[in-house]
Structure 1
């Protein structure tokens, strides 16, 4: 976060930006805790599908909290440093504030939240690439019509890559690859296999499976590709295995990079959980400076952030929205990629797909123009197969009966 933003937020400590938080999971609580020690942003209201459980958790963690759905009472409680908790999504409209922070990690419930937010005339900040990459484009059209902002956050990989790309362009670089890193990939990972690891880390097993089988990464890079108009080397990402990070310049064929650049990733046990770009600098006079700065001889250079700090960086996005009406990253108006669903195993007719992080499908990024007939992974949950489909096969929309949900209705698929 720039010092100027921090200073502005610091001046607002007595009249902070009020943010309604929807979803109090692992990252949601981390953000709430951050607001105690970071100026200018406060949380008067948490919307949760399990309000009593949420209140009990907050009290256990040392917060004053109670169930409340009256907007005026919530204002009064906020003045007393008491957090209101409710399952009433109508409060998005009836409570007076300007920003909603959606952190549910779901597509269907998240879509409902997003539609209510734009109807209320408020800005939407999400920590939910799944939502953005699935229904972000039609949502953006609705938010644009009302001159409102919809954006994902700095802190998650897509937002952190967006910040890195913007910073590189200010330095005169031309990004030709936006990159992500994985230490482990098993496209056939199951919940039973990953549960011990998830329990050890304190994470939901569904979330853990989505990391492990590559779905989460495909969705994140879909969002980056669509916001910046970047493409793919071929049918999907290549994901070469490497021993060390600096091998990136040697494992891709740079002659195959299209003018708009590509998104891709590397996999290796020694990689760090950060983001990187490969960029060229078109000013030949800068090459001697870049060599002096230990970035190499060029013509391609690696720029990276060795970490992304998740909830600790969300305030920067919120401040940019509140102070400048500026988005960090969204799915854009003309998406060029999508993440489609493939079968993890041989699936029989009548199988009900259990969605992202489940045991039936995984997601893979594809070019949108040539893959519009396939099932987006973000709306796969609850879809019923109309025929037998072999393992590792892309599922077509015509292969499934889709449930009626806020997301499928918004996409006009039901």
Structure 2
């Protein structure tokens, strides 16, 4: 509990943590808003394919124009200003950089940036959960061997869930379930960028004016992002993945310990010790009372009567048996909290959640009947959505990871609701992203940890 003191000391000593941000979208912009208010942080550079967007993000978050006028990274390092570039590799290689943040959301880019960070000795905050789920365990191992930190992004839900799980286990509590909330109805799986805004209750015109990306928002709605985030949690914590994928049971915060128990005890879990996402909507569309749409949770068990009595004595909400209770956080602040990961990596050499196993995978499932010759358009698109699956099942079926489903041309038909397999497409085995995925599968398929 002394990060602020450690950051302040770095500021006083004139040796701030030098940070490079890749991607000036919403997450990155939210980080910028607080980075300028955090002692001991120096935003040395931003890389974005559209440098004007980075300049706009800095202006929007209150940075003075003179701050981002550095002509070189050397100038930025020496005078405390910020260099903006379109070349992320140039940023990663900049002398004096300590921590890189990948906020691109593109799996191939994230993997390439991670490998460059290892070469240049940079810690990496991987906001890019898509890249982490595709190859995170392998990347984390490479960083560890290099004496570097590879970490999930604090403020994003996977890291906050991992924190709750770590708290529970460090306190001696068995974890029954952990996860997050979202807005879910079954027909959302078929949502496309053309239909997404009606589910959010806004017009396409308003969304466009606000700069909202329909594919990104559709990924949240159609279940893909939930699958990706829960795979990351399973891989970071060792929690299991339900065999049939996420069930999205409707549940408010007061009912977490009742609903998120194993089925044999009257709950909705397939088994104890798994990830799950709860819905803020009943199946008929009615809102759930005291929902957890924006938050995260962990459900724990009292293993003795004494602990169960303590739950009762201190007013904890429990299930009917009194043996299960939940701790939850109703909100997450996205990039506004990202500095916690930066500080932990640079000052403590610690992650705020890291993939160490290959328990969960996210595979492409057809949103409609797909025909040979059609080109898959990836996460949040018109063709497929991403379903969470146990990694062993994914490998056995040769399922196509959602992170490889962008730009793939189908060689065989796939019916609506079916898993797209690697036999339906032609993967380029020489592609660096595909090669990295193959390395990860080979390295971790035999060493997946069992759920605790």
Alpha-carbon separation, structure 2, partners of 1:398 and 1:307: 41
Structure 1 residue 71 displacement after superposition: 3.0
Change (3 A) 1:387 1:150: same
Alpha-carbon separation, structure 1, partners of 2:57 and 2:210: 18
Alpha-carbon separation, structure 2, partners of 1:235 and 1:57: 41
Structure 1 residue 47 displacement after superposition: 0.9
- Counterparts of 1:8-407 in structure 2, within 5 Å, are 8-13=6-11, 14-59=14-59, 62-64=63-65, 66=68, 70-76=72-78, 78-79=79-80, 82-88=81-87, 89-185=89-185, 186-195=188-197, 196=203, 198-199=207-208, 202-242=211-251, 244-252=252-260, 254=262, 261-267=273-279, 268=281, 269-270=287-288, 271-272=291-292, 273-295=294-316, 296=318, 298-332=322-356, 334-372=357-395, 373-402=398-427, 405-407=431-433
Alpha-carbon separation, structure 2, partners of 1:62 and 1:228: 38
Structure 1 residue 59 displacement after superposition: 4.5
Q: TM-score, with normalisation over the residues of structure 2?
A: 0.84
Alpha-carbon separation, structure 1, partners of 2:393 and 2:312: 41
Does structure 1 residue 408 correspond to structure 2 residue 408?
no
Alpha-carbon separation, structure 2, partners of 1:221 and 1:53: 31
- Contact 2:72–2:83 at 8 Å: present in 1 too? no
Change (3 A) 1:15 1:177: same
**Paired residues, what number?**
406
Alpha-carbon separation, structure 2, partners of 1:62 and 1:99: 20
- Contact 1:382–1:402 at 8 Å: present in 2 too? no
Alpha-carbon separation, structure 2, partners of 1:144 and 1:252: 34
Unaligned runs of 5+ in 1: none
Deviates more, 1:259-268 or 1:391-400: 259-268
Alpha-carbon separation, structure 2, partners of 1:7 and 1:74: 25
Compute the RMSD of aligned alpha carbons: 2.3
- Contact 1:275–1:305 at 8 Å: present in 2 too? yes
Q: TM-score, with normalisation over the residues of structure 1?
A: 0.91
Alpha-carbon separation, structure 1, partners of 2:309 and 2:58: 55
